[in-house]
Amino acid sequence: MRDAAVEALAARVRALEDAEAIRNLKARYAELVDARYQRGAPRPQPELDRLAGEIAALFSEDAVWEGGALGTCTGRAAIRERMAKPTLRFSRHYFVNPRIRVDGDVATARWELLAPCTAQDDRPMWMAGVEDDAYARVGGSWLHTRMQLGVHFFAPHERGWALRS
């Protein structure tokens, strides 16, 4: 009986550690995609290429990145290529309220997203939505296997997100 209790406790600790590793993976993704900008503009291309490689390394070889209107990329190489070409002039991704479910070496999560950003025409914008992600443990580390963005709104800062008649 004692061995079963210890095994059950070890499994619970492992699940907590896995969920924390996934939170850290998502935080690193946000940090890197936002690092592509400095002083309200994309960084020089050599820096973007380096950062794009670091972002792509957070994904499995056959991962899918679905950005809605921003496009879909399949495979690490395509994700790297997409991340080297920013579509904004500035962004800060805040992923909150994670609902993470771990099942052995795979996991899913839903994240709420709020991102203040600057469009290419220098308009300040608000973006909000959800990301539905899938993960796999590969070589002992968690990687994204799918990232799917669902946008609730992408609205000019001065107008806000409220619907007006």
76-114 residue pLDDT tens: 999 999 999 999 999 999 999 999 999 999 999 999 999
What average pLDDT does the chain have? 95
Asked, for residue 128, whether it belongs to a domain, the answer is yes
The number of distinct structural domains making up the chain is: 1
120-153 residue pLDDT tens: 999 999 999 999 999 999 999 999 999 999 999 9
Q: Do residues 125 and 117 make contact, with C-beta atoms less than 8 angstroms apart?
A: yes
Q: Which two tokens stand for residue 27?
A: 């935080």
11-41 residue pLDDT tens: 999 999 999 999 999 999 999 999 999 988 9
In the DSSP assignment, the letter for residue 68 is G
Expressed as residue numbers, the domain containing 86 is 2-156
Asked, for residue 164, whether it belongs to a domain, the answer is no
The pTM of the full predicted model, rounded to 2 decimals, is 0.93
Read off the CATH number of the domain in which 60 is found: 3.10.450.50
Asked, for residue 139, whether it belongs to a domain, the answer is yes
Asked, for residue 119, whether it belongs to a domain, the answer is yes
Asked, for residue 163, whether it belongs to a domain, the answer is no
Asked, for residue 107, whether it belongs to a domain, the answer is yes
Say what the pLDDT of residue 161 is.
Answer: 81
